[in-house]
Structure 1
């Protein structure tokens, strides 16, 4: 399967994710597969609420109705895109990951129709980001900007260079500026602001070399692309969040060097998923 797979569950954020996926499909000239997965133990709250006391057939009918409503609400009749509707009796992360295995992109709302609304990021979106081998886009309900630069964070790691390649292609598709951010901190974490042992000029030169090497490795041709490279003396998370204030998209690797990867999902990527003002694309780690 090629094209874009998007998870639907009746929530506002899932509907916004579907709307984003449809716009992306128009840009790419591809199809959208809208998938609503339900199971007796892990159904979306919207399905559970509307089908209490019903059997499996009635529950599936309710799920299809929710999916059809979401597609109707998200469709722009002026420029429709092909949409494949899928309802599966399966745990949502497993269904989405299986469907996205051969897709170009997997799109999810940051927090869906969960019965645990206190969580910043839902279990389905978290599972998709952690386990997917396909780029995953996480969308919030309040993210509707369709212009501005495409921002990508690089740190010299193979995954961040792959993220840069993906972001460059996306910027070309959208006719957008590509903003490449490399954050560096000459003072070791935990040390005071004035650290006598640091050669600031040498550190800045080394950081510049990392950024230039990433640009050379990640962008084959720049003749049709406007690139804005940013070398920022700051923490990686703050640098990326600041750079995305006017952006339409942020692209990050799932993990990389230093601040981009301390865990399975890097701490910087994790923070961007929670706090970025635009949709975030997470590029899976390079094998």
Structure 2
């Protein structure tokens, strides 16, 4: 088993010995296969707080790392999907190792995050938030221990005026096609005075907003005829829609720049806002990578 991999394009999965990391690896197989790049299992051996690095402790740490990546590789290989697996074991903090991978040609970074009641949740969320501000490539955040086969919901993204909105939409279309899932494209609109506006005016506002969104999606429908695309006009608040439909969403695709309704609340700097959602998240890269 190779411990070091060259900085070449790959879908990189953070491995830490947990079942959630294996679930992230299984989710990432399709990403690597679709891009025709290897799936790289990255394990970071954290520096010991005491600063002591005697040979015995180093050997134990390395054995733990080897066992973790071996277990992940076996789980992926048993899934019988043809993808090349690479292994990289580094001595560094997990965040630093992932940032380095992101800047060394990674096509995507995939991280498995704990469930809501997991004791390690806060530390992992802090690393994810920091990674999102530094990674030039897309970052996928896979929730809990869910395996790909259990995901039968839709892919959701928002189309707005932000600079990277077309990038997020393109990524969402690609994911919907890859996952065989319907795509819901959200666009927010604001009623003039919600407290006094009559129901007819609100309904007409919604129809106009949806018609405008449909026009924007016309080209994408022709480019992705095999993707079931639903245009959804959402009044005022996208977060309310996400909360109401949480059980039917498997993946939420977000842009990087906080320039529209959804990204203002859920951009990389405010990742913690979405930690209560059960769906997986996919952020476009800081440099607009697809």
TM-score norm. by structure 1 comes to 0.78
SS of structure 2 residue aligned to 1:104: strand
Question: Cα offset for 1:210?
Answer: 5.9
Describe the shift of the 1:169–1:78 C-alpha distance in structure 2 as closer, same or farther (beyond 3 A).
Answer: closer
Q: CA RMSD in A?
A: 3.5
Match of 1:83 in 2: 85
- Structure 1 residues 93, 213: CA separation in 2 closer, same or farther (over 3 Å shift)? farther
1:187-226 matches, cutoff 5 A = 194-195=195-196, 200=202, 204=206, 207-208=209-210, 211-212=213-214, 214-215=216-217, 221-226=223-228
Count of aligned pairs between the two proteins: 272
Kindly provide the CA deviation profile for residues 63-105 of structure 1, in whole angstroms up to 9, marking residues without a partner as x: 2222212322343253352110110001211211221331221
The answer to whether the 8 A contact 2:42-2:89 is kept is yes
Q: Work out which of the residue numbers 26, 34, 38 in structure 2 matches 1:31.
A: 38
CA contact (8 A) 2:183 2:227 kept: yes
Structure 1 stretches lacking a partner, 5+ long = 43-50
Per the TM alignment, residue 165 of structure 1 is displaced from its structure 2 partner at its CA by: 0.9
- Give the alignment of 1:122-161 within 5 angstroms: 122-144=125-147, 145-161=150-166
**1:34-83 CA distance string (max 9 Å, x none):** 000123247xxxxxxxx999432332222222221232234325335211
Distance 1:9 1:211, change over 3 A: same
Task: Report what 1:110 is aligned to.
Answer: 113
| Counterpart residue number, 1:179 | 184
Question: Does structure 2 conserve the Cα–Cα contact (< 8 Å) formed by 1:4 and 1:21?
Answer: yes
CA contact (8 A) 1:260 1:266 kept: no
TM-score, with structure 2 as normaliser = 0.77
Deviation at 1:221, TM superposition (A): 1.8
What pairs with 1:164-175 in structure 2 (closer than 5 Å)?
164-175=169-180
Corresponding residue of 2:17: 10
**1:181–1:229 Cα contact (<8 Å) kept:** yes
Where in structure 2 are there 5+ consecutive unaligned residues? 1-7
Inter-CA distance 52–246: structure 2 relative to 1 (3 Å threshold): farther
